A = this chain, B = another copy of it.
Amino acid sequence: MTDIPAPPWRKTRAPSAPRTALSRELIVSTGLRIVDAEGLEALSMRRVAQELGTGPASLYAHVANKEELLDLIYDRVMAEIHVPEPDPERWLEQLREMVMDAFRVFSSHADIARVGLANIPTSPNALRIAEGQLAIMLAGGVPPQIAALMLDRFGIYICADAYESALYINRQRGSDKDLDVFLEETFGQIKTFYRNLPADRFPRLTAHVDALTGPDGDERFEFGLDLMLRGLASYVRDAGAGSPTSKG
């Protein structure tokens, strides 16, 4: 029995790709790949779908919407952050290492950090990291209320700085220059901009151009982090001095 050919006016759809097995996992990892390679702005549902050889509608069976996809990608990135076992002797050092590690991770994934600023942290890895930081601080003798407040201060600081740092990389993507060349060029421009400001209206800015433009992104982040850690240490000293029962 021969098949009846489809009537010519009913255009048969091309057989195309053979039903690729989609999944949340696949969608998330594809999304992250795009973000890493082309930045957060390049991430669209269509772009992900295209990468998977399908249409945008197919993604919505596995992911509620773009916001959820972003959250999932964000959590996936946070999974890379290492949480150590608390060692009371090294609590400040450990805390510093953790924050630096988080900064490093976010910095290596374009501007995904922006998602962190726009969300209340309730994803699995956010909780894991919060618990870890809390453990380190409590082990170090930080009063619980102070430790609790530190949690989101760290989070905001890390995300905000990583996001801002990523902006330069994002702009460099547009040009055809290497990152080093681009950064040097940009910083040079900023330097001359500050230098050419009217000295009568901005005497201090023009006088301290080198101090303003000298430190690079990593140095700036570390400075701010140490600022917070010094402040934290002072709170711990205060608490220790205030209660005779505490250690020391």
Chain A residues in the interface with B (C-beta under 8 A)? 117-118, 120, 122, 127, 130-131, 134-135, 138, 144-145, 147-153, 156-157, 159-161, 163-164, 167, 190, 193, 197, 201-205, 208, 211-212, 214-215, 220, 223-224, 226-232, 234-235
Min C-beta distance of A216 to chain B, whole Å: 11
Which of chain B's residues have a CB closer than 8 A to the CB of A147?
A: 208, 211
Do A144 and B208 contact each other (CB < 8 Å), given the known contacts A160-B156, A160-B160, A220-B149? yes
Which of chain B's residues have a CB closer than 8 A to the CB of A212?
A: 148, 151
> Can you tell how many copies of this chain the complex includes?
2
Min C-beta distance of A48 to chain B, whole Å: 22
Are B208 and A134 neighbours in the complex by a CB distance under 8 Å? Answer: yes
Which of chain B's residues have a CB closer than 8 A to the CB of A223?
A: 149, 153
Which of chain B's residues have a CB closer than 8 A to the CB of A224?
A: 149, 153, 156-157, 228
Which of chain B's residues have a CB closer than 8 A to the CB of A127?
A: 197, 202, 205
> CA–CA, A226 to B156, complex, Å?
15
Which of chain B's residues have a CB closer than 8 A to the CB of A197?
A: 127
> CA–CA, A50 to B168, complex, Å?
34
- Of B117, B149, B201, the residue contacting A164 (CB under 8 A) is B117
Min C-beta distance of A100 to chain B, whole Å: 16
Are B156 and A161 neighbours in the complex by a CB distance under 8 Å? Answer: yes
